[in-house]
Structures are given as structure tokens and as C-alpha cells.
Amino acid sequence: MTNQVHTSGRFGTAVSSDAQRNKVLRNTYWLLALSMLPTVLGAWVGVATGITAGLTGFVGLIVFLGGAFGFMYAIEKTKNSAAGVPVLLAFTFFMGLMLSRLVANVLGFSNGASLIMTAFGGTAAIFFGMATLSSVIKRDLGNMGKFLFIGVIMLLVAGIANVFIQSSALMITLSVVAIGIFSAFILYDLKRVQDGEETNYITATLGVYLSLFNVFQSLLALLGIFGGDRE
């Protein structure tokens, strides 16, 4: 199953200072890089202990959605305080744990490690591509956010339905669509920071992190399906 969750602040006060915008963007990049460490640690703990192995089907869905939205609510409440960064990092550890089942399955292939590195490389390429685009595109992307949000809701509904349908074709379709939607969300969220529409770097980091998480997860799922070698 591919889980898609995305949220990011939409209520930031516009800032006119280029220096302030650059500071928010710089802090976002630093915190985004830092957030990868708890994610990797969470995935390693999950694979090493098998703690998430039993989180399948409806139970896994409830744990994932409950934990994810609970953390996102806590991040929103603490984003302007000293607790904001630790809460965000705790969330990324949780997301790493939730990713560990997929990682463990892929590591079951003889070429599993290379598939993970390929997914990581593909995700990094998408991020740098979208980051570059966000710095050169001059037009307002505000309307784009509405369509992306609708797309995420449709993905979430279809993903929940597939927990019961268990269709491989639908899972592949959702993974491909998710890569497109969340790649566009990276561009949209970074552009909002650069335009001064998002002034909280914790909120900005959360939005971009979730997009990267879903892009990586979807790429890894596709690589496992089409490139996994059991021999």
C-alpha cells in the first residue's frame, strides 16, 4: 500500500525583505537535511526489530494515519516555539518507522540495496530539479496549489480503497501519479517560501519533507515491482 499524506501551511504573512525570505529558505533546507537523519534511523530500527511487520491492512492504515495526523497537529501547534523542531524530528522518525516495511521488503531482493540507492538518487534529482525551477519561475503558482490538494485527496481516498481491493495495477497507477503530484508540490512549496508567502521554516520543511517522503516511497515501490530480483 502506498500512503500519501501532505500538509503545509497556507497562512504565512507575506514578507517584503529578500533577506528574510532567504533566511526562511536557508533554514528550511538545513532542517530538511537534518530531518533525513531521524528518518533513516527510524527505517533502520523498523527493519532491525521488525516492529512494524504486523502493521498490515486496515490496522497499518489506522496507525499510520493516526500517527501522521497527530504529529502534524502537534507540529502546527508548536511551530512558533522551541519545541517545534524536536516535534518535527520525532515525526520524521515515526515516518521512517512506517517506511521500514517497504524497505525490508525491498531488501529481500538480491539487488535490494541498489534499488534503495536508485530511489534515493531519483528523489534527490527530483528535489534539486524542482528547487532550481522554483528559483527561476517568475509566475504565481497559487492556483496550482488548489489542484494539487484535490489530487492528494483523491490519492488518499484511492489508497485507502486499495487497502481492501489489493489491486497491483491500482497501486502502480497510484505510485506513478503520486510521483507527479508530490514533485509538483515540492516546486509549489519552495516557490511559496521564495515569494514570501510562507514565513515559518518549520511549516515549510514539513510540506517539502512529506512530498519527498512520498516521492521516495513511490519510486521504491515501483522499483521493487519492476526491478526486484529474487535470485
Amino acid (one-letter) located at 141: L
Cell numbers 524542482 label which residue?
Answer: 130
Q: What is the pTM (predicted TM-score) of this model?
A: 0.88
pLDDT recorded at residue 195: 87
pLDDT recorded at residue 17: 77
pLDDT recorded at residue 166: 84
Q: Digits of tens for pLDDT over the chain (231 positions)? A: 445 555 444 444 444 577 888 899 999 999 999 999 999 999 999 999 988 877 777 787 888 889 999 999 999 999 999 999 999 999 999 999 999 999 999 999 999 999 999 999 999 999 999 999 988 988 878 788 889 999 999 998 998 888 888 888 999 999 999 999 999 999 999 999 988 888 999 999 999 999 999 999 999 999 998 887 776
pLDDT recorded at residue 63: 86
Cell (9 digits) for 126: 527530483
